[in-house]
């Protein structure tokens, strides 16, 4: 099959070796070794187009948005709102009024917890989560439940890291007001059936929030097809800058929510004793936003659109399947999550039964290999798995099978170093 570069959308398979030239950081050496970056679930690297966009904004367009009539202000506003339009199209062609800029997935979920949750969640209500949630989609609801007297219920996972759906009618019960679920686990890689969960939630009159931090960068996501009421994700996990997040919310729900922050820009009129709010989406965007990084998010979206998200997904399935196969050769490893790549993304967490994950990550770094070690902001899940922490290798569009081979060889070296094998 043909390969594609960033300018050839019509082809069906991407070639990571071609794409790597677009990412300057991949030319670095770490401890004298070529960098092998396998920490993409934490953040992805940035292509030249994003880096240049950020530089170009500060060099030629820097001004505050929405308030000025001069040329720079109008250009900055146009670029800022252009990204909002691209985001709306990227997740299924929603209205731009339904796209709210935040600082990241965490702030987006907190916005819902504060603005919608404190108005609508009462004592005796139920909030349904899963056992695999990131703290960003766990702690806000723990706090809200304590404040309101609501009940938290969790959809359990099975031994393969898949949700157990057999008792769902007892969990998503008539008193449920919100179901809030990760689309793709940052630890297990599990892809959850969020469309089915949304149907179950709506059947009980509850709303559905999806944490899409790990899914939007890797899957073709259509929030209208999922029928999510809220959907949150971050730019930096999909080639974009840090400090930019997105909250999608259905217009009719957002209209009835109070603002999260108060101040400039989010108002339509202010008197000494009264204030009226701006229209959507700006009533949720108080103060000067992260303009430059939002503008630089646009070329990241263009890059992924040019590749095609189906091609991104196919590459991830191929490299993840290969990684699972190679890691299974090391019998002293325990690998977590589904074995079938149809049900998982490219985050692969594992432990060596005799080497602490932190020691393992430090050793791999000495070989130029960047992985993550810890509980990955999912402590309850780690306890559910019976571990304190894991090592995690996570893949993206510029990773190769050869890098997987080097990871496996380095894990063998670590075994010889720590265990004299």
What would the mean pLDDT of 299-320 be, rounded to a whole number?
98
Supply the pLDDT for residue 8.
37
**Confidence at 11, pLDDT banded by 50, 70, 90:** very low
Per mean pLDDT, which range of 15-24, 42-51, 59-68, 200-209 is the poorest?
A: 59-68
Average pLDDT over residues 273-289: 92
Band of pLDDT at residue 276, cut at 50, 70 and 90? confident
Q: Crossing angle for the helix pair 309-327 and 401-419, nearest 10 degrees?
A: 30
Residue 13: the pLDDT is 77
The HSE-up count of residue 214 (CA atoms within 13 Å, CB side) is 30
pLDDT tens sequence across 127-182: 999 999 999 999 999 999 999 999 999 999 999 999 999 999 999 999 999 999 99
What phi and psi, each to the nearest 5 degrees, are found at residue 413? Answer: -60, -40
- Residue 300, pLDDT score: 98
- Across 314-341, average pLDDT: 97
For residues 17 and 402, what is the distance between their CA atoms, to the nearest angstrom?
11
Q: Report pLDDT for 9.
A: 39
At 420 the pLDDT is: 84
Predicted confidence band of residue 10 (pLDDT cuts 50, 70, 90): very low
In sequence order, what DSSP letters do the residues of 127-153 get, joined into one string?
A: EEEETT--GGGTHHHHHHHHHHT-EEE
DSSP category for residue 163: B
Phi, psi (rounded to 5 degrees) for 385: -85, -10
Burial 166-181 (b: 16+ CB within 10 A, else e): eebeebbeeebbbbbb
Instruction: Report the alpha-carbon distance of residue 137 to residue 380 in Å, rounded.
Output: 12
Q: How large is the average pLDDT for residues 213-238?
A: 98
pLDDT at 7 over 90: no
pLDDT classification of 260: cutoffs 50, 70, 90: confident
Indicate the pLDDT class of residue 353, thresholds 50, 70 and 90. very high
Q: How many CB atoms lie within 10 A of CB 82?
A: 13
SS (H, E, C) 27-94: HCEECCEECEECECCCCCCCCHHHHHHHHHHHHHHCCCCCCCCCHHHHHHHHHHHHHHHHHHHHCCCC
Quote the pLDDT of residue 16: 97
pLDDT at 64: 95
Class of the domain covering 51-305 = alpha beta
- CA geometry: angle at 122 spanning 116 and 127, to 5°? 70
The CA dihedral of 33, 35, 38, 41, to the nearest 10 degrees, is: 140
Yes or no: say if 246 and 102 are a contact pair by the CB < 8 Å rule: yes
The CATH number assigned to the domain with range 3-40+308-415 reads 3.90.1150.10
CA distances from 309 to 131, 238, 301, 325 (A): 28, 11, 10, 24
Which of residues 32 and 266 earns the better pLDDT score? Answer: 32
Contact between 177 and 161 under an 8 Å Cβ cutoff? The reply is no
Q: Where are the domains of the chain?
A: 3-40+308-415, 51-305
pTM, entire model: 0.95
190 pLDDT more than 50: yes
Task: Determine which of 4-13, 69-78, 113-122 has the lowest per-residue pLDDT on average.
Answer: 4-13
Of the residues 36, 38, 129, 377, only one is catalytic, namely: 377
CA distance 281 to 44: 27
Return the percentage of the chain with pLDDT > 90, whole number. Answer: 93
Query: Is pLDDT of 1 > 80?
Result: no
DSSP state at residue 237? G
CA distance linking residue 376 with residue 392, whole number of Å: 9
What is the Cα–Cα distance from 363 to 254, expressed in whole angstroms?
48
For residues 375-400, give the mean pLDDT: 97
Contact between 371 and 36 (Cβ < 8 Å): no
Query: If we measure between CA atoms, which residue out of 67, 92, 63, 95 comes closest to residue 79?
Result: 63
The 10s digit of each residue's pLDDT in 226-256 is: 999 999 999 999 999 999 999 999 999 999 9
Burial class (CB in 10 A: 0-12, 13-18, 19+), 59: exposed
Q: Which two tokens stand for residue 143?
A: 């706090």
| Known catalytic membership, residue 419 | no
Q: Looking at the predicted structure, is the pLDDT value of residue 278 above 90?
A: no
Q: What is the distance between the alpha carbons of residues 123 and 106, in angstroms, rounded to a whole number?
A: 25
Common-topology check for domains 3-40+308-415 and 51-305? no
**Backbone phi and psi for residue 334, each to the nearest 5 degrees, phi listed first:** -115, 120
**Taking 60 as the threshold, does the pLDDT of residue 274 lie above it?**
yes
Helix (H, G, I), strand (E, B) or coil at 357: helix
């Amino acid at each position: 099959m043909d390969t594609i570069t960033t300018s050839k959308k019509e082809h069906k398979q991407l070639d990571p070796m071609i794409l790597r030239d677009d990412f300057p950081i991949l030319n670095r050496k770490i401890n004298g070794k070529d960098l092998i970056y396998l920490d993409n679930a934490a953040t992805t690297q940035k292509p030249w187009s994003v880096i240049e966009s950020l530089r170009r904004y500060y060099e030629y367009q820097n001004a505050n948005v929405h308030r000025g009539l001069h040329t720079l202000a109008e250009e900055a506003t146009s670029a800022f709102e252009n990204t909002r339009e691209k985001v709306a199209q990227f997740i299924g062609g929603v209205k731009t009024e339904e796209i709210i800029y935040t600082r990241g997935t965490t702030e987006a979920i907190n916005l819902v917890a504060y603005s919608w949750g404190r108005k609508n969640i009462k004592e005796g209500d139920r909030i349904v989560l899963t056992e695999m949630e990131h703290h960003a989609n766990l702690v806000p609801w723990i706090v809200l439940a304590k404040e309101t007297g609501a009940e938290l219920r969790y959809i359990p996972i099975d031994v393969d890291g898949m949700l157990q759906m057999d008792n769902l009618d007892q969990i998503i019960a008539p008193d449920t007001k919100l179901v809030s679920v990760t689309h793709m686990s940052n630890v297990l890689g599990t892809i959850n059936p969020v469309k089915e969960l949304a149907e179950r939630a709506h059947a009980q009159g509850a709303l559905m929030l999806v944490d899409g931090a790990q899914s939007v960068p890797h899957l073709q996501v259509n929030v209208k097809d999922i029928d999510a009421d809220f959907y949150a994700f971050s730019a930096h996990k999909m080639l974009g800058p840090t400090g930019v997040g997105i909250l999608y919310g259905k217009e009719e729900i957002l209209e009835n929510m109070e603002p999260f922050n108060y101040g400039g820009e989010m108002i339509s009129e202010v008197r000494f004793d009264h204030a009226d709010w701006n229209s959507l989406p700006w009533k949720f965007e108080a103060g000067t936003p992260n303009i430059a990084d939002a503008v630089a998010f646009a070329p990241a979206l263009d890059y992924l659109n040019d590749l095609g998200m189906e091609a991104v997904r196919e590459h991830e399935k191929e490299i993840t399947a290969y990684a699972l196969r190679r890691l299974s050769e090391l019998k002293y490893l325990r690998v977590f999550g589904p074995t079938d790549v149809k049900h998982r993304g490219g985050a692969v967490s594992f432990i060596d039964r005799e080497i602490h994950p932190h020691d393992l990550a430090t050793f791999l770094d000495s070989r130029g290999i960047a992985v993550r070690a810890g509980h990955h902001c999912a402590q309850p899940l780690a306890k559910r798995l019976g571990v304190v922490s894991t090592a995690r290798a996570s893949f993206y569009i510029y990773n190769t099978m050869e890098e997987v081979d080097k990871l496996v060889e380095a894990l063998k070296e670590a075994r010889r170093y720590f265990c004299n094998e």
